[in-house]
Amino acid sequence: MDIITTNELCKQYSHKLVIDHVNMHIPEHSIYGFVGENGSGKTTIMRLLTGLAEPTSGSFTLFGVKNTDPAIYEKRKYVSAIVEKTSLVPSMTAKENLRYFELYTGISLTEQDRDDLLRKVHLEDVGNKKVRNFSLGMRQRLGIALALVSKPKLMFLDEPMNGLDPEGIAELRDLLIDLNQKDGITVLISSHILSELEKIASCYGFISHGKIIEEITASELQSRCRKSLMIKVDKIAETEAILKTHNITDYKVSSNGEINIFENLKVNDIVAELNAANVTILSINSSEESVEEYYLNLVKEGK
């Protein structure tokens, strides 16, 4: 079952269509990795789905309720989000921010619950320090704690790894996996750190220039990602000439002298010919296309 579906969703600013007839399907209990270049429309879609912006046309359903139905306000109580920036009151402490959030969401936590939440995001030692004195990473973690106050069923996280150190990124990754697997929380997450996204996402939405170009599950993506043979040599021109004699055209040369060959080939024959041509093979191994490469190929094909 999809927790969110969008139907020809559009958003126009002045005369520019920034979200162009988007149809998305976010399965319940999934971690949906939202991938796209800067300005592709990821944040705008999150803003539309969280009610911060109104669609110009099209619609969406949240927990099966259409966005124009007043019942959507009730459903939004099961949603939490960090979109663009964490929403905190700088003159309050971490606990006061939690309490303030509790009051307007109508949730009542015990002191123990608040301590547990802060411990979960490693902010148990902040004491009476005002949020204005927090580092970016600490604010980000407190934002996540706020997002967890309402025990949501759906979380929108827009670039939540921004400002976190490597340890913080790993902790957030583990926390999200935990929330998804133990509590069944559906997560829609965008991140520029695609290698991190790859470790947690169970499905992906690829977006470019306001259009969803593909939605795919992680297992489908894995099977679709092209396998390649990566050869690092000292003479690139000669190597390319040899590949052409074997009618191999689907390869990519990177600036550091690596050649990624995406076609099946007889490795022994190529190696023998390279030796014969006095080309030194510095390294050779097989690799798999990453999410980033897959996305870039998708965008390239789209163009």
Partner 1 sequence: MGRLLKAFFFKLSKDLAFRIILIIGGGLALFETLILFGLQQILATEADVFKLVSGQSMLMLSFSPAQNFGLAIPLYIIIFICLEFSHGTIRNKIIAGHSKFQIYTSLYLSGLILAMMLLLSYVTLCTALGSIFGGFDVNGEAMFGITSGSKLSLEYLLKYILLGLLVYTSLVAVTVFFATLFRSIGPCIPIIFLLIMGGYYLAVIMGTVIQTSEAIALHQQMSGDQEVYQAAKDSLENFRRIGNVLKVINPLYSLSVADNVDGVSTMDTYTFFAGIGSNLIYAAAFFFGGAAIFKKRDIK
**Interaction site with partner 1 (CB under 8 A):** 47, 50-54, 70, 73-77, 79-81, 83, 85-92, 96, 99-101, 103-106, 146, 150
Shortest approach of partner 1 to residue 31 CB, angstroms? 19
Shortest approach of partner 1 to residue 139 CB, angstroms? 11
Shortest approach of partner 1 to residue 163 CB, angstroms? 15
80 closest CA partner among 7, 2, 188: 188
Asked if residues 200 and 178 have their Cβ atoms less than 8 Å apart, the reply is no
CA atoms of 160 and 143, how far apart (whole Å): 9
CA atoms of 289 and 226, how far apart (whole Å): 5
Query: Toward partner 1, which CB reaches closer, 17 or 53?
Result: 53
CA atoms of 137 and 110, how far apart (whole Å): 25
CA atoms of 238 and 252, how far apart (whole Å): 15
Query: Toward partner 1, which CB reaches closer, 89 or 282?
Result: 89
Burial 48-72 (b: 16+ CB within 10 A, else e): bbbeebebeebebbbbebebeeeeb
Query: Toward partner 1, which CB reaches closer, 47 or 141?
Result: 47
Shortest approach of partner 1 to residue 70 CB, angstroms? 8
Query: Toward partner 1, which CB reaches closer, 40 or 80?
Result: 80
Query: Toward partner 1, which CB reaches closer, 54 or 301?
Result: 54
Shortest approach of partner 1 to residue 290 CB, angstroms? 32
